[in-house]
Amino acid sequence: MESLELSRVLLLTSSSSLLTTKAIRQLGFRCLLKKPNKNGNLRLTRSFSGHTGGGPAPSASQAEDEHEDDDFGSIVAFNLVPESGKITEEDATSNGVEVPEAGDVEEEKVQNRVSYNIVFVTAEAAPYSKTGGLGDVCGSLPIALAARGHRVMVVSPMYINSTPGDEKFSGAVDLNRRIQLYCFGSVQEVGFFHEFREGVDWVFVDHPSFRRPGNPYGDKFGTFGDNQFRFTLLSYAACEAPLVLPLGGFTYGDKCLFLVNDWHASLVPTLLAAKYRPHGVYKDARSILVIHNIAHQGVEPAITYGNLGLPPEWYGSLEWVFPNWARMHALDKGEAVNFLKGAIVTSDRILTVSKGYSWEITTREGGYGLHELLSSRKSVLSALAARGHRVMVVSPMYINSTPGDEKFSGAVDLNRRIQLYCFGSVQEVGFFHEFREGVDWVFVDHPSFRRPGNPYGDKFGTFGDNQFRFTLLSYAACEAPLVLPLGGFTYGDKCLFLVNDWHASLVPTLLAAKYRPHGVYKDARSILVIHNIAHQGVEPAITYGNLGLPPEWYGSLEWVFPNWARMHALDKGEAVNFLKGAIVTSDRILTVSKGYSWEITTREGGYGLHELLSSRKSVLSGITNGIDETEWDPSIDQHIAFNYSIDDLSGKVKCKISLQEELGLAVRPECPVIGFIGRLDYQKGIDLIRMAIPEIMENDVQFVMLGSGNPAYEDWMRATESAYRDKFRGWVGFNVPISHKITAGCDILLMPSAFEPCGLNQLYAMRYGTIPVVHETGGLRDTVQSFNPYGEGTNGEGVGTGWTFSPLTKESMLVALRHAIKTYKEHKSSWNGLMKRGMTRDYTWVNAATQYEQVIEWAFMDPPYCC
């Protein structure tokens, strides 16, 4: 979206679990995906598509044509096809490159294109050098991109081996630009040769180590022993080339996209992060790692790290430990450095050469030891950093002297202490920082966050000073973009604050009342995200005096309880409501589903704020939360007994049998299993299930429940299991592996929630081919389409993904359940259609991130709501 120039986003939350890294870093590259190759050297066939930011927004017709989402988060793929007639058997198999038939693609209008400075870094580029598919790709793809209006440079070694093949470099001209690079303990001088051919700047790095007989990697005696030195030198030279080479009269500068290919160039992303950005260079650059063959990773002894010129604190990004079976002897600790791993950790995006291969490398069999790391990056796409924005998350550093404190082990003290006036005294706070998966995770350190319990209370109840703690968080969050030089420079005051729930809701008021009057944050905007409006942060009116806000802003937080909620006759009901303050002063308001954004404007769903929210309807939107595809994917889920996919559902029946065996139920694959996963309280509809269970048990079904909460409901669950030993199982507590097993092993998931702002379990269920039966409310209404057997579905299977019921009564819930049970038993083709439609629904963070961007763009279109 070309008009959206925002590059700094702050997500402020009391809990980092609210906004995980599910989507945090895709570089917009849509313009690469469409348009035929006029040069005939390489054709691109889409392995994924969809507008991903950075380019102009697609038209309605384009959006419809391109609606195929990236199933693999930050790891995606292009099919790269050499020119027709030049595909050899070696090319078709080398480096795992797939060679499918390329189809025609629609030409994109030139005026809709955004141009990039693209720098390929590669050990091979045909026709100058080639041993396999890598050379073909890096010799042809740059030409295809240059034809689309991008400025493209390819940086590769100048291999001179005193053979007729040296003539390939005859068109390259010495640029007479020699630079000195410190590499492997000594200063090395490299030169650059240049040829401008077919719209591409072909830059060749000249050094004695590249001038020897043989191929790029070895000779008849074997692999060169100094390859790591040679390709480290290539990586350094490639980082310098855009800065020092005046090609065509001017340099590329430091706003570049580096496409680094395989382990040979994999040091580049780490150099950008560790050597350049801390000094303010390449702060606007991005890097994409392209993996052609993951079997080659560039693993060297750990001592090699000292030769790379990287700071000691970056050792962990390349650290590698061989498994026991791969060690040479009993004293061998298996310590090494893995250069490909370093690029996986530090690159902004990861590509493979086919969509299938992007999945294979996340499996134990295909990942060659890197499968877990690659799987952890599959969800990177779904948040805003994935789309080219600079993103900071500010959250308290909760230290409670438990093993859970290890979560903060990667955070480094920034040694930046600031003093904040809060609740009548000066408080000193510190900041810890971890840069992970493209996001600056900033943790606010203060004694009030260092105590046993959860973020809000302990076994004795809610902490009495929560308003003080989260007021301190809000002040610290406002200061962080101004004072923390993350990556070498601050975010500055042109930011977008995404504030979550009442805990962070003082931020919009602080921006309006404390900062903008002094000319700070005048270009910033704030968006309030409401996850559950029942929690509003209401405190006695006297609290306002502790906030440091001007008296004239009292009205923005003023709250008066209705008569029925007052304690006694003399109680005037006067209070301050922190969520109300954010509703009044934020630039836009979001909820976690479209349905919930409507519900909170009603008397029943607004908890006293419905009229105020109705007055701001023009800036009120709803975006359904996404799910973490790395955690919830039946094809790779490690918690379930058998993996399966939409193409092969046989594993789902096996998961049911495994669940029945584990819980001691009769093993009956033909019997429908109903599941419930959630908190045991009124909101989740437990009272409805309790009333209906005798009638449910009259059916030929099995029922499994997992949850904890109200002790009375826990006792009821135990008693029900005793009464229906052959048909009912209740698991009191919460267990992550069991929740996955229930989701995979059940046929039906029941969610009779009284209200549900978004709901995630129904999304997990559909992804696993489990059919949701839900109360028609909030996010459940938005995400579950009620089954219609007479709709125009594929092969007469109908339409819909589950059953919804309304009103919230036992009778209507039972009707929906009976329809589901009858369909399961008597209409298998319809049931299969329900499963497959649910499994193909897009409820990923990829989709949510594009919607967030649209709301952000709207926020910046208007002046600040409160100046």
- From 357, 382, 407, give the residue that closes a domain: 382
The confidence band for 409, taking pLDDT boundaries of 50, 70 and 90, is confident
Residue 104 CA: distances (Å) to CA of 46, 67, 87, 101, 581: 10, 17, 18, 10, 54
Instruction: Tell whether 2 is covered by a domain.
Output: no
Q: Tokens in use for 558?
A: 């003023």
Letter for the amino acid at 148? R
Q: Which domain holds residue 769?
A: 650-843
How many whole angstroms separate alpha carbon 207 and alpha carbon 236?
Answer: 13
Of 641, 643, 646, 647, residue with least CA distance to 660 = 641
Omega prior to 311 cis, within 30 of 0: no
Q: For residue 429, give every residue at least 6 positions away whose Cβ sits within 8 Å of its Cβ, in sequence order, or none.
A: 417, 418, 420, 444, 445, 446, 472, 476
Q: Are residues 669 and 807 in the same domain?
A: yes
Q: Are residues 399 and 374 in the same domain?
A: no
- From 355, 382, 409, give the residue that closes a domain: 382
pLDDT at 114: 58
Residue linked to tokens 């992303």: 269
Condensed to tens digits (0 to 9), the pLDDT of residues 122-144 reads 999 999 998 877 888 899 999 99
Instruction: Tell whether 1 is covered by a domain.
Output: no
How many whole angstroms separate alpha carbon 325 and alpha carbon 388?
Answer: 41
pLDDT at 40: 37
Helices 828-839 and 810-826 cross at an angle (nearest 10°) of 110
Which parts of 347-495 fold into alpha helices (H)?
355-360, 371-376, 466-483
Letter for the amino acid at 593? S
Percent of the chain at pLDDT > 90 equals: 51
Instruction: Tell whether 242 is covered by a domain.
Output: yes
Of 393, 379, 378, 483, residue with least CA distance to 440 = 393
**Rounded mean pLDDT of the chain?**
82
Average pLDDT over residues 525-542: 91
Q: Are residues 700 and 619 in the same domain?
A: no
pLDDT at 793: 58
Instruction: Tell whether 577 is covered by a domain.
Output: no
Torsion angles phi and psi, residue 375, rounded to 5: -65, -35
Regarding beta strands 117-121 and 151-157, do their DSSP bridges make them parallel or antiparallel, or are they unpaired?
Answer: parallel
Regarding beta strands 151-157 and 200-206, do their DSSP bridges make them parallel or antiparallel, or are they unpaired?
Answer: parallel
How many whole angstroms separate alpha carbon 634 and alpha carbon 653?
Answer: 12
Percent of the chain at pLDDT > 70 equals: 82
Q: Are residues 616 and 763 in the same domain?
A: no
What does 128-145 look like in DSSP terms, one character per residue?
Answer: TB-SSHHHHHHHHHHHHH
> Are 270 and 277 within 8 A, CB to CB?
no
Which CATH number fits the domain that encloses residue 689?
3.40.50.2000
**First-to-last CA distance in the chain?**
27
Q: Are residues 606 and 688 in the same domain?
A: no
Instruction: Return the higher-pLDDT residue of 610 and 80.
Output: 610
Instruction: Tell whether 644 is covered by a domain.
Output: no
Q: Are residues 356 and 401 in the same domain?
A: no
pLDDT at 2: 37
Of 267, 258, 148, residue with least CA distance to 200 = 148
pLDDT at 108: 35
pLDDT at 10: 66
Q: Say how far residue 17 (Cα) sits from the centre of its chain.
A: 13
Condensed to tens digits (0 to 9), the pLDDT of residues 229-254 reads 999 999 999 999 999 999 999 999 99
Q: Are residues 680 and 611 in the same domain?
A: no
Q: Is a pLDDT exceeding 50 seen at residue 819? A: yes
pLDDT at 219: 87
pLDDT at 93: 35
Instruction: Tell whether 4 is covered by a domain.
Output: no
Q: Are residues 396 and 279 in the same domain?
A: no
The confidence band for 384, taking pLDDT boundaries of 50, 70 and 90, is low
Q: Is a pLDDT exceeding 90 seen at residue 49? A: no
Instruction: Tell whether 306 is covered by a domain.
Output: yes
Helices 711-723 and 686-696 cross at an angle (nearest 10°) of 10
Q: Are residues 301 and 410 in the same domain?
A: no
Q: Are residues 377 and 428 in the same domain?
A: no
Q: For residue 701, give every residue at least 6 positions away whose Cβ sits within 8 Å of its Cβ, in sequence order, or none.
A: 671, 672, 673, 674, 727, 821
How many whole angstroms separate alpha carbon 707 and alpha carbon 714?
Answer: 8
Q: Is the pTM of this model over 0.85?
A: no
CA angle 29, 380, 647 (to 5 degrees): 90
Number of domains into which the chain is organized: 3
pLDDT at 15: 60
Q: Are residues 374 and 412 in the same domain?
A: no
Average pLDDT over residues 68-90: 38
Q: For residue 459, give every residue at least 6 positions away whose Cβ sits within 8 Å of its Cβ, in sequence order, or none.
A: 453
Instruction: Tell whether 563 is covered by a domain.
Output: no
How many whole angstroms separate alpha carbon 463 and alpha carbon 376?
Answer: 34
Q: Are residues 40 and 162 in the same domain?
A: yes
Which parts of 298-411 fold into alpha helices (H)?
315-318, 339-346, 355-360, 371-376
Regarding beta strands 620-622 and 574-577, do their DSSP bridges make them parallel or antiparallel, or are they unpaired?
Answer: unpaired
Condensed to tens digits (0 to 9), the pLDDT of residues 488-526 reads 788 998 899 999 999 999 999 999 999 999 999 999 999
Torsion angles phi and psi, residue 99, rounded to 5: -125, 80
- From 362, 382, 402, give the residue that closes a domain: 382
